Structure 1
Amino acid sequence: MKKITFLFIVILLATVSGTFAQGTVTGTVYDAESNAPLPGANILEVRTNNGTSSDFDGKFSLKVTNQKGMVNVSYVGFGSKNIPYDVTNGDVDLGIITLALDNSLEEIVIVGTGVVDLAEDRSTPIAVSTIKADEIQAKAAGNVELPEILKSTPSVFVSNQTGFGDGALFVRGFDDTNTAILLNGQPINSQEDGRVFWSNWAGLSDVATAVQIQRGLGSSKLAISSVGGTVNIVMKAADRSKGGYARFLGGNDSYAKGTLAYDTGMNEKGWAFSVLVDYWRAHRKWAEGTYGQGQNYYFAVGYKPNDDHAFNFLVTGAPQSHGQRWSQSQEIIDANPRYNQHWGYSGDLDLNANGGNGQFTSDIDSERANYYHKPVANLNWDWTLSEKSQLSSVLYASWGRGGSVGPRGARAQRTEDPDGDGPLSGQIDFYNTEQENLAIAGGIGGGRTGYVRRNSVNNHQWYGLISNFNTDLTETLSWNVGVDFRLYRGDHFRQITDFHGLQGWSDDRPDGGIVTESYDSNPWAALFSFADEDQRIDYDYSENINYQGVFSQIEYAGDKFSAFFQGAVSNQSFQRDGRFESTEGASGKSDKLNKIGYNLKGGLGYTIENMHTLYMNAGFYSRQPFLDNIFNNIRTSNELIQPEVDNEDITGVEFGYRFRAGRFNIDFNAYYTNWDNRTIVSFGRLDRNPVPTPDDDSDDAFINIYDRGINQIHAGAEAEFRYKATDWLNFKGYISGGSWRFNGTTNKQIIDDDTQEVISSEDDLDLSGVKVITAPQFTTGLGVNAKIYKGLSVDGNINYYAQQYVDDPESRGLQTRNIGTIKAYSLTDLGLTYDFKFDTQSLVFRANVYNVFDEVRKQATDDFGFFFTNGTTFNASVRYNF
């Protein structure tokens, strides 16, 4: 009782003492762009609940409780500032405090300012939207991936695809193979095919300080695949402020995640350290069998020996494994939206358990899964050469290890169909599948005899260097020049992960050897444990891709007028190395192919009365083809496609208008992109004997489809606005519409994936007017944020999608034509935050509900059918900041 009384007295005294003001701090808050006052700006004495708001003229007066401290000045839609004060000798006037629009990331990018290409680095505007760390950690935490945070921006579409990290990102109708994704200036699109696997980057939502989506030509100076746009993910450096946090998050279907983070702050010798670790797991994401688990780790060291140099080294990774669900038909979704045909229970069967009905002794397992571990390390160095010149460099490396799990051989046994003769089938019955394998004479499977699971292993080593020199030639003229080097090697093969009772596997190697070793589908084990060459099956090859690029930009930036010109040129070499000796045309090293690519961009901007800005950008790209498009079959052939695949040609033009007026701002953009000489490689399935066995796909042929000489035209317009209605109520919204279509003729060739037989070939196939099916061509959305009480706020977003075209799934690999559109739909998300501050700490509660009205709708298509939205999902977290 004495201890409780003592604690109560201490808290009371602390509260009472805090009520005695030490002095008054005054000032005026202005919009940095329009030079107009900001009424209703929030002014808060840091680490207290003591605050006020600016009046109609932007002026404020705050009686502070400490003689020395800081006030935080913030305004929704603008970046906040911490301003120090000292009222020891009397009241203090802080003067005019200017706030920049929240697209500004000046205070976020601590190192790598010369290689992280952000919109703020160029005076000539671009089409851009920026999301800050607070919103990322609130809305993209836990069972929601990082790309989801971008879905409420113009011309951006995110497809869930139901598995952890399996989402896809589309910008202006272009997928992630044609949208550049940069991490602290480092390209992370696959060197082989341009894809981005978001499951490899699950930890970014915890360590990203901002995500900036630049639509169209963007501000990047690199010769990269930014046909649709550029996504800049700014990852935190070693923090210069001391502090940390602990967070626990829980969600639907037993999702749980715990996180610990700590920053030492910068000491007197210029050193700073930051560390973050977390662990997550879930029974499923939403659909059946989509289990997942993983860890995230981040470690950074910063060193600032003087004002001229700043260094930062970091290493981060997100090892994970998760079950997957492939696309489903509408008939299956109608019967059971959560259905997944690929999972079951593995392990031993205890017949006495579950009241004598039997029960398996292990957790769920899947014949379709993904596991990967991709550690990334980079070293940034910023060197201030003089008041006018800076050199910024980043040296980076990544080592990806892992792959995908899939079935091989005969079909697995299944449990009883849950709907009789309906569209669903039972779960995978791993126990009885193993019993069937054990009955095979000699214990050796192969071909259609026996069932195993294999790993399609994709290992790589990637090293790179980007360096940029920038100098101010005059007060209005700046110039920079830089280099971009990359070395990449990818190793690809298959190995057995589970024999399911067999002793070995044959008929899957060109030398006729029997494989007897299996390898765990574990992301940590995958770093060092994978099959030797004599234990690999189906295919075994490597690629070497080397890249050298130079880039330069010059920009004029006056009071009202700005202009820039930028150019880049690169050389990229490709070579394949096959290791299955007896496979004709697949062994040894292929010829090395070198391709020169380049881009040219220019733009103009003009500002009228600090409120209106007009701009135009135009550019041309000659882009090298992806490695996967230049060989007859990348898995089985060293032969280059003849005639040789040429560079793709992309021409882009865009116009924009910006309006800035205190509480309201709007951005409008119109664009036209012509993408010519494109090669598309896709996949499908054909029934070899459709008449005698219409429902049996055991004799189906997997096919590769090559469309060459394709021309696409993407044109459209988009608008985005922010409006601060009152001090406590804010709105943001967007609308975007496009016409994305094919134009002219193409050459289509269909090849049997197993035999390499040409099934059909058609020249001059006219695609004029056929719509692109990758994403909805009309989107609009509205978001609202309301402060209910001190520290308590609610927010919501609704996004509407329409005009997404569909091709006939039965015609995949044949003549592709649109047959209609996916029915328009909307998705609604809601969130609540309560931030309770006390002393120097705070406790933050956050809750999210995604797809509130449980809209399970067709969302996207691929070579095998439809993908659907997740139904209602949710999470809630509590975070203690110290």
Structure 2
Amino acid sequence: MKKITRLLFLAGAFMFTAFTMAQTTVTGTIMDAEMAAPLPGANIIEKGTTNGVSSDFNGYFTLITDSTEGEVEISYVGFGKVLVKFSGNTDLGNITLTSDNSLEEVVIIGSGIIDLAEDRKTPVAVSTITANQIREKAGSSDLPEVLKSTPSVQSVQAGAFGDGQMFLRGFDQTNTAFLLNGQPINGMEDGKMYWSNWAGVLDVANAVQVQRGLGASKLAISSVGGTVNIVTKTIDRKEGGFVQQMVGNDNYIKSTAYYSTGVNEKGWSLGVLFGHWQGDGYVDYTQGQGQTYYISVGYQPNDNHALNFMLTGAPQWHAVAGGNKISTYLDPEKNDGRGRRYNGWSFTGVESPNTLHGGVYPGGRNIYHKPVANLSWDWTINEKSELSTVLYGSMGRGSFAQSIGSVDYARGSNNNHDWYGLVTNYNNQLTENLNFNVGADVRLYHGFHFRDIREFITVDSVSASSGYSGGETYYLTEAGGINPWNVFFNPNTDHSQRFGYDYEEQINYAGIFTQLEYSKDQLSAFFQGALSNQSHVRTEFLNTSTPGQGEEGGKINNVGFNLKVGAAYEITDMHKVFVNAGYYSRQPFHDTMYKDDRGSNELLDPEVENEEITGFEAGYQFGGEKIQANLNLYHTTWGNRTLIGSNGEEGDDFLSYQTFGVKQVHMGVELEVFTQPLNNVRVNGFLSLGDWQFKDNATQRTFDNDGAEVGEGIEVEIDGFNVGGAAQVNAGINASWEFLPRVSVDGAWNWYNDMYSTGSLTQATIGLPSYDMVDAGFSYKMLVGKDDRNSLQFRVNVNNVFDEVYLESVNGNTAASSNPEENYKGVNTSNNGRFGYGRTWNTSIRFNF
């Protein structure tokens, strides 16, 4: 027995010795190429395995492997991956990482919630804007301006700070899903996006990914044009920050400071950003100012759990630019010689304590403060499964303050809300070839809308009458002001100080989603499905049978779903093809469901039905060493739409319109090319060819100020009309050249063609003249401090270098006149329009530490 025990012990010792002798040790130090500094927390993984470690606070790592030779894959947040070979025990020395041009490894917290195209092997039509590109190109612009050099995207600046609009494949922002770290941020009531509410998002963005068409998102969001994923900072692995000062045209000033502690030895981290901006605006009397704040607290107790709390907001106010007839912009006598800078919505000769320009009170002013908070938790359950959850909330407070009468007072149209939600996703690698995930999306939304007084200008009170007083006259004597901080902390909660309209709505949403993805050898395929229920109820406070008490209106539940399938085949390492298809049954927006969205609790009869969206797309990807290209074809049918509108009048003259059964078909082809002919030269380009038209006819109904239908529904002949608002054909070329170390110039040319007006559906849209623009930039980075670990960055942007004069948008259907003097480049000047900005500029200096 002793001999057997001794033999077993010796055999075990021999096997253990052989095992340990077969192990290989790989060491090295990870460095930041630009900063010449170590990178703590970099990921080092043996290629083809799950064996990995992280670099320590000095960038050093030790990896133990059973293999005698192989490769290690090294990655870090915001840097490109590096593959390094090893053979036997190897010291790899210093391994430098440089800033990357992809989204790989950007997301640390909430990675299972944020649906990025890189996370799925079956491709979609996608473009990614990196942190470095955002930092250089954003300047004083909104996000749509940063995205305009991607296929099928057009930015419309709309005349004032934060009022920009983005079109994607011909669909406006209400039909493009915007996500912030996995959180839906389109308006729950109407799908709208107001960039003034998100003025600081580019200051904290790590990357922005535009997924055109069906996209990769698993959420039950049923986007039509596509999905825009905005990925912000969460946890920074290393300590550091920046201070930046920017100035620009028309007295624009922006100051920003950011600091991150990095992750300490106990797993805690803190990041804080604060900024302030102000300016006069390119268009006359569109001054504005605001702040940006961002706080992120992270905690990683161990390798299996990571938590992060984020709070961000952008309180601001800005005056707006009113549109006008094209003829007004062209006639110096009508526009005071201001041309395209003319603000058709301004009043003169009235003093106000809040007027920045003496003697001029703006016709309209936007005031808003919308803090957003979320708590993210990533849990790595085991090697094959993980759970990601984001709990979020936002509270929006603010209004549109419009000058009334002979500038007697500023009337506030308030759009406030409380919004809470939860997104969770469980992912499991079922087998080597099969991945499964399932999740839930819950949103609870309470909106409250009313009119009140923002400022008294030439009067001390305003009289009104409503159901509050049984129809008797009452007086409004309190003003809410235009300071967004004060508006948020001291909102108007007194119903007796409201007039015009006063109602609330509760919108609750619950959805589940799932995805199954198969991948083996050159073939990959996926299936996605989502099912959701959305409930609506509206409560009226103004026009009620019992003065001062709310009356709840009709309730409705709408069930929606979507299905997406796709497959891809990798012909070789350089060639890949894919096809995707999807069908959405999307719930109608809240604002389209009532006879009058401002004054009636009554649902339309018959009730508004779900919209029906069918999408098909196919693509080819080429990946060479010096050139990469993406070719995409798409066909989207968007049917059973309901559109709303009004005649813009007030009181008894007010009429609202609902147009039912509207159908659009958008089809096109997109080509995107990336080249690097030299190590220090990049040249990229794109071409989008679209054909977007209304199909079949629709039915229009008219309702008066009390929500009663006027007459009978009429057939609206829209078949064959072109869809307006954005260029159906656009192209662009952009290039950058680093002609000296850390010194570069860049430029971009964008061209827009086949543009059409927007306006009444009862008349055909009219064609608009094409236009093109050139933007340019210059960058210089100076390494400073001990061991060149810090840097100073200088940046200059000039937009519309050649001061191109162009019609950016037209709202009207009046055909060209037979008298050439009444036309502008073929467009009748009696139509309302807006000219785009002329030459603008900004310059900044940034200290990174």
Fold shared by both chains (TM-score > 0.5): yes
Aligned partners of 2:546, 2:488: CA distance in 1, in Å? 31
Indicate the residue corresponding to 2:123 in structure 1.
125
Q: Deviations over 1:813-860 (max 9, x none)?
A: x72212x31100001110110011122110000000111111232112
How far off is 1:147 after superposition? 1.7
Indicate the residue corresponding to 1:537 in structure 2.
499
Alpha-carbon contact 1:463-1:486 (below 8 Å) kept: yes
Q: Does 1:730 align with 2:663?
A: no
Aligned partners of 2:442, 2:370: CA distance in 1, in Å? 20
Q: Does 1:632 align with 2:595?
A: yes
Q: Does 1:138 align with 2:101?
A: no
Q: 1:627 to 1:390 in 2, by over 3 A?
A: same
Q: Does 1:747 align with 2:744?
A: no
Indicate the residue corresponding to 1:235 in structure 2.
232
Aligned partners of 1:138, 1:616: CA distance in 2, in Å? 35
How far off is 1:90 after superposition? 11
Aligned partners of 1:160, 1:861: CA distance in 2, in Å? 13
Indicate the residue corresponding to 2:455 in structure 1.
498
Q: 1:391 to 1:496 in 2, by over 3 A?
A: same
Q: Which amino acid letter does the alignment assign opposite residue 647 of structure 2? A: G
Q: Does 1:112 align with 2:110?
A: yes
Alpha-carbon contact 1:347-1:360 (below 8 Å) kept: no
Q: Deviations over 1:152-210 (max 9, x none)?
A: 00111110001100001111000111100000000000000000101000001110000
Aligned partners of 1:876, 1:147: CA distance in 2, in Å? 20
Q: Which amino acid letter does the alignment assign opposite residue 343 of structure 2? A: N
How far off is 1:499 after superposition? 2.5
Q: Report the secondary structure of 1:514's partner residue.
A: strand
Q: Which residue, 806, 811, 815 being the options, matches 1:857?
A: 806
Q: Report the secondary structure of 1:635's partner residue.
A: coil
Q: Does 1:453 align with 2:374?
A: no
Q: Deviations over 1:284-338 (max 9, x none)?
A: x200011010000000000000000000001000000001012232112223211
Q: Report the secondary structure of 1:592's partner residue.
A: strand
Alpha-carbon contact 1:347-1:361 (below 8 Å) kept: no
Q: Which residue, 626, 632, 635 being the options, matches 1:669?
A: 632
Aligned partners of 2:155, 2:546: CA distance in 1, in Å? 42
Q: Does 1:174 align with 2:137?
A: no
Calculate the TM-score normalised by the size of structure 1: 0.81
Alpha-carbon contact 2:374-2:391 (below 8 Å) kept: yes
Q: Deviations over 1:39-98 (max 9, x none)?
A: xxx9667259xxxxxxxxxxxxxxxxxxx8799x999xx952589999xx9984789x99
Q: 1:736 to 1:115 in 2, by over 3 A?
A: same
Q: Deviations over 1:727-782 (max 9, x none)?
A: 11110110001111111110012334x45565565433221100101211000000
Indicate the residue corresponding to 1:10 in structure 2.
none
Q: Report the secondary structure of 1:815's partner residue.
A: coil
Q: Deviations over 1:341-378 (max 9, x none)?
A: 3335677599xxxxxxxx99958531201010000000
Q: Which residue, 289, 292, 299 being the options, matches 1:293?
A: 289
Q: Deviations over 1:355-402 (max 9, x none)?
A: xxxx99958531201010000000000000000000000000000000
Q: Report the secondary structure of 1:517's partner residue.
A: coil
Aligned partners of 1:90, 1:550: CA distance in 2, in Å? 49
Alpha-carbon contact 2:34-2:98 (below 8 Å) kept: no
Report 1:794-873 matches (<5 A).
794-806=745-757, 812=760, 815-818=762-765, 820-838=766-784, 839-862=788-811, 865-873=832-840
Percent same amino acid at aligned positions? 44
Q: Which residue, 205, 210, 230 being the options, matches 1:208?
A: 205
Q: 1:682 to 1:242 in 2, by over 3 A?
A: same
| Further displaced range: 525-534 or 264-273 | 525-534
Indicate the residue corresponding to 1:340 in structure 2.
343
Structure 1's unaligned 5+ residue stretches are 1-24, 28-41, 49-67, 351-358, 413-450, 687-697
Alpha-carbon contact 2:285-2:357 (below 8 Å) kept: no
Q: Deviations over 1:527-563 (max 9, x none)?
A: 1223310000100000100011101110001221000
Q: Which residue, 263, 271, 280 being the options, matches 1:274?
A: 271
Aligned partners of 1:46, 1:361: CA distance in 2, in Å? 49
Alpha-carbon contact 2:599-2:706 (below 8 Å) kept: no
Structure 2's unaligned 5+ residue stretches are 1-25, 39-57, 62-72, 332-338, 813-830
Q: Report the secondary structure of 1:304's partner residue.
A: strand
Calculate the TM-score normalised by the size of structure 2: 0.84
Indicate the residue corresponding to 2:826 in structure 1.
none
Q: 1:770 to 1:633 in 2, by over 3 A?
A: same
Aligned partners of 1:255, 1:360: CA distance in 2, in Å? 14
Q: 1:700 to 1:505 in 2, by over 3 A?
A: same
| Further displaced range: 840-849 or 499-508 | 499-508
| Further displaced range: 517-526 or 639-648 | 517-526
Q: Which amino acid letter does the alignment assign opposite residue 596 of structure 2? A: N
Q: 1:109 to 1:92 in 2, by over 3 A?
A: closer
Report 1:572-591 matches (<5 A).
572-582=534-544, 588-591=551-554
Aligned partners of 2:356, 2:128: CA distance in 1, in Å? 49
Aligned partners of 1:699, 1:645: CA distance in 2, in Å? 26
Q: 1:852 to 1:508 in 2, by over 3 A?
A: farther
Q: Which residue, 806, 823, 841 being the options, matches 1:874?
A: 841
Alpha-carbon contact 1:630-1:644 (below 8 Å) kept: yes
Aligned partners of 1:106, 1:360: CA distance in 2, in Å? 46
Q: Which amino acid letter does the alignment assign opposite residue 654 of structure 1? A: E
Aligned partners of 1:611, 1:568: CA distance in 2, in Å? 33
Q: 1:268 to 1:762 in 2, by over 3 A?
A: same
Q: Report the secondary structure of 2:601's partner residue.
A: coil
Indicate the residue corresponding to 1:447 in structure 2.
none
Q: Which amino acid letter does the alignment assign opposite residue 815 of structure 1? A: T
Q: Which residue, 779, 792, 805 being the options, matches 2:730?
A: 779
Alpha-carbon contact 1:405-1:453 (below 8 Å) kept: yes
Indicate the residue corresponding to 2:574 in structure 1.
611
Q: 1:583 to 1:327 in 2, by over 3 A?
A: farther
Q: Deviations over 1:481-533 (max 9, x none)?
A: 00111000000001111222323212353333221111101110111223310
Give me the CA root mean square deviation: 3.0
Q: 1:474 to 1:99 in 2, by over 3 A?
A: farther
Q: 1:99 to 1:271 in 2, by over 3 A?
A: closer
Q: Report the secondary structure of 1:135's partner residue.
A: helix
Q: 1:842 to 1:375 in 2, by over 3 A?
A: same
Aligned partners of 2:596, 2:545: CA distance in 1, in Å? 13
Q: Deviations over 1:457-487 (max 9, x none)?
A: 1110000000100000011100000011100
Q: Which residue, 564, 586, 605 being the options, matches 1:642?
A: 605
Aligned partners of 2:241, 2:98: CA distance in 1, in Å? 27
Q: 1:331 to 1:237 in 2, by over 3 A?
A: same
Aligned partners of 1:699, 1:317: CA distance in 2, in Å? 36
Indicate the residue corresponding to 1:378 in structure 2.
374
Aligned partners of 1:831, 1:361: CA distance in 2, in Å? 32
Q: Does 1:519 align with 2:522?
A: no
Alpha-carbon contact 2:351-2:360 (below 8 Å) kept: no
Aligned partners of 1:527, 1:467: CA distance in 2, in Å? 30
Q: Which amino acid letter does the alignment assign opposite residue 854 of structure 1? A: D
Aligned partners of 2:667, 2:352: CA distance in 1, in Å? 58
Q: Does 1:556 align with 2:518?
A: yes
Aligned partners of 1:504, 1:675: CA distance in 2, in Å? 49
Q: Which residue, 444, 456, 466 being the options, matches 1:487?
A: 444
Alpha-carbon contact 2:672-2:686 (below 8 Å) kept: yes
Alpha-carbon contact 2:323-2:345 (below 8 Å) kept: no
Q: Does 1:468 align with 2:421?
A: no
